[in-house]
Structure 1
Amino acid sequence: MLLLSLVWASAFSMIKIAVPYVGPVVLVFARCLIGAMVMAVILVLMRGNSVWPRGWRQWSGLAGVGVVSTALPFTLISYAEQNITSSLTAVLMTVGPLVAIMLGHYFTDDEKINRGKLMGICLGFLAAVYLLRAGLNGGLHSGLDCGLDSGKSGADGGNLLHMLAVIAAAACYAIGGLGAKKLPHVSSEVIAAMVLLVSALVMIPALGPSIATLMGEGQEPGLADVPLKVWLALVWLGVMPSGLAFYLRYFLIKRNGYGFVSYVGYLIPLFAIVIGVVLLGEAVTVDTVLAMAVILGGLVLTRGATDLPWSISPKWTGFRRRLN
């Protein structure tokens, strides 16, 4: 879970580096296409042991999962990061576990809510709302003239439309993850490969204007002006957060349920803030630090009494069991 959190957290900074130069559409198409190629290699290495969808219903369901869980949220996040910081984007994604566990309670058999989970996700949600308020007041804006010279830096950190786009992306992840849970007989590597391929194909109709701009036909910087760090960011996005991490995501969904994978959403902001500070020179406010402490507390409450990845005292174990 920690490794998955770290890889996904890095995506926010990579998007922040690349999106000012290539735009959301090209960025999403490139990362999905590269990710699909990575998964194609994995499928070859599996030597035909993968289980593929059977019938129109499973194929159409897989395509729907690709659009909802990948194409839409990738585009929304890339759009948002044109105007808000990578740290704020990651923190706003903490609404994902709330949506996932709430929906899982009604649409799955193994994701039921108890008092501990409810308290934990509410704490995480309240922390996100607190940061949303701080963002609206401009308190999270770091003036991204960053150490890596990220190009056209994020403007006002309090742009409500861009923040709502991130929240919508978090909801898409939750809905798409639950949809993947409904494909129990399809291999995880097949799901990851197909959702990335479908997402790349979905972006093709919108590529025309973006490619024209990238080639220098508009007012924006052309292809020759794109620095090496942007290409490296796109490759990283495709290989790691979109390729290998996607495979691990769907593997964990099938093995542990989406509620377990959604807990990653609590750790991603913490790692994303650290990466944003080190890589982009983003500022960390007191509001952010306090909210992160609350979110980590919520993570502990959402886990069961005996399934935390570290040892805890008998008193805490007894308290957590009483919340079930």
Structure 2
Amino acid sequence: MKTPLVREHDALVDLILLLILSALWGASYALIRIGVATIPPITLIAARTLIAGSILLGWMIFKGISMPRDPAVWRRFFVQAMLNSVVPFTLIAWAERSVEAGLATILNSASPVLAFLGTWLITRHESVTPRKLFGVTAGLVGICLVVGTTAFHGLGNQLLAQLAIVAATVCYAGAALYGRSFKGLPAAAPAAGSLLVGAVLLVPASVFVDKPWTLHPSNHSLLALIALSVFSTALAFLIYFRLVQTLGPVGTTAQAYLRVPIGVAIGVGFLGETLAPSAWLGLVCVVAGVAAMTIPSRRRSPLRI
């Protein structure tokens, strides 16, 4: 049995990893926007999954970690690939050509809400507490305050692209819930396996649709692709699959909230941007929400609704 000191240390490590994951995935939106400027969405995502999956497979070989051979596990990798990379990656890459960043952030930040509802109504594999309900609500309100209500002015203008982002968000929530099925495997196995399965599905689609040998991507797009693959995918997936097992789906999807204040902090610290009073209040709500969703309590009581 773990002592309270060990549990607190584990919780601190998980929170640090959650911050890192938020930064890695928060940066992915800018990298995708740079990438799709000269690389079609399907080819960009096919290359992203192939590069990241190959890196993780090489890392597993180096560390002596064997890839599962059970066909049933690979079928689960296929489901995870569809939910966590193939469908959402492609939808977001396509949608980012027209949807404004602020509205896209709000639409894509709903995954903790969906994961909460899925945990409560469908899987019931972890306690749904009043504190988590508060965290989900406070975080979403905080995101709206940080981004600004003016972002909603574009709601409906690019309806198909906006619905694509919502669909990607549903996929992410489902992936967090389904990721619990890999308990007992090293985090690298589902990370590499799902990405390699995704590459097997996407590379032929890229060849058929985009004919990548005819493309002339810019250096900026190629550098964005490399950074997206190495940091925002390979490294991020390693962290993600660990956190799904330790924080649970609701806690792990809290990174969707943390992406925004991290981006805001970069803007304030390096670009000289300023925040409106509502944004500061929003940051407080986000921090309170994430803390409620991730920091373990000594006594948990299930939410009865």
TM-score relative to the length of structure 1: 0.75
Work out whether residues 19 and 255 of structure 2, in 8 Å CA contact, stay in contact via their aligned partners in 1. yes
The aligned amino acid for 1:189 is A
After TM superposition, give the deviation of residue 61 of structure 1 in Å: 1.6
2:81 to 66, 71, 76: 66
Residue 36 (structure 2) aligns with: 19
Measured against aligned partners, the alpha-carbon deviations of 1:267-308 in whole angstroms (never above 9, x if no partner) come to 01222345578899999777766544433332233344658x
Change (3 A) 1:31 1:272: farther
CA distance in 1, matches of 2:208, 2:273: 31
1:84 equivalent to 2:84? Answer: no
The aligned amino acid for 1:8 is W
CA distance in 1, matches of 2:42, 2:148: 26
Number of aligned residue pairs: 285
Pairs within 5 Å for 1:243-254: 243-254=234-245
Residue 236 (structure 1) aligns with: 227
Identity %: 26
CA distance in 2, matches of 1:132, 1:263: 20
CA distance in 1, matches of 2:233, 2:290: 24
After TM superposition, give the deviation of residue 254 of structure 1 in Å: 2.3
The aligned amino acid for 1:46 is K
1:204 equivalent to 2:203? Answer: yes
Work out whether residues 111 and 259 of structure 1, in 8 Å CA contact, stay in contact via their aligned partners in 2. no
Helix, strand or coil for the counterpart of 2:37? helix
Measured against aligned partners, the alpha-carbon deviations of 1:21-76 in whole angstroms (never above 9, x if no partner) come to 112101110111110111012111221x346152x332212211111111111011
Work out whether residues 98 and 158 of structure 2, in 8 Å CA contact, stay in contact via their aligned partners in 1. yes
Work out whether residues 129 and 300 of structure 2, in 8 Å CA contact, stay in contact via their aligned partners in 1. no
After TM superposition, give the deviation of residue 157 of structure 1 in Å: 9.9
CA distance in 2, matches of 1:14, 1:279: 18
Change (3 A) 1:6 1:34: same
Stretch of structure 1 that moved more, 129-138 or 119-128 = 129-138
After TM superposition, give the deviation of residue 113 of structure 1 in Å: 1.4
Helix, strand or coil for the counterpart of 1:20? coil
After TM superposition, give the deviation of residue 82 of structure 1 in Å: 0.6
CA distance in 2, matches of 1:29, 1:277: 34
1:105 equivalent to 2:120? Answer: yes
Change (3 A) 1:275 1:228: farther
1:96 equivalent to 2:111? Answer: yes
Measured against aligned partners, the alpha-carbon deviations of 1:174-200 in whole angstroms (never above 9, x if no partner) come to 111221211223321111111111111
Work out whether residues 8 and 245 of structure 1, in 8 Å CA contact, stay in contact via their aligned partners in 2. yes
Give unmatched runs, 5+ long, in structure 1. Answer: 139-155, 216-221, 308-319
Pairs within 5 Å for 1:298-309: 298-304=289-295, 306=297
2:248 to 252, 257, 260: 257
Change (3 A) 1:77 1:277: farther
The aligned amino acid for 2:293 is T
After TM superposition, give the deviation of residue 99 of structure 1 in Å: 1.0
CA distance in 2, matches of 1:251, 1:304: 16
State the Cα RMSD in Å. 3.3
Quick check: which one's helix share is greater?
2
Change (3 A) 1:91 1:28: same
2:262 to 250, 265, 271: 271
Residue 28 (structure 1) aligns with: 45
Residue 159 (structure 2) aligns with: 160
CA distance in 1, matches of 2:230, 2:286: 29
Pairs within 5 Å for 1:137-152: 137-138=153-154
Change (3 A) 1:281 1:52: farther
Work out whether residues 37 and 221 of structure 2, in 8 Å CA contact, stay in contact via their aligned partners in 1. no
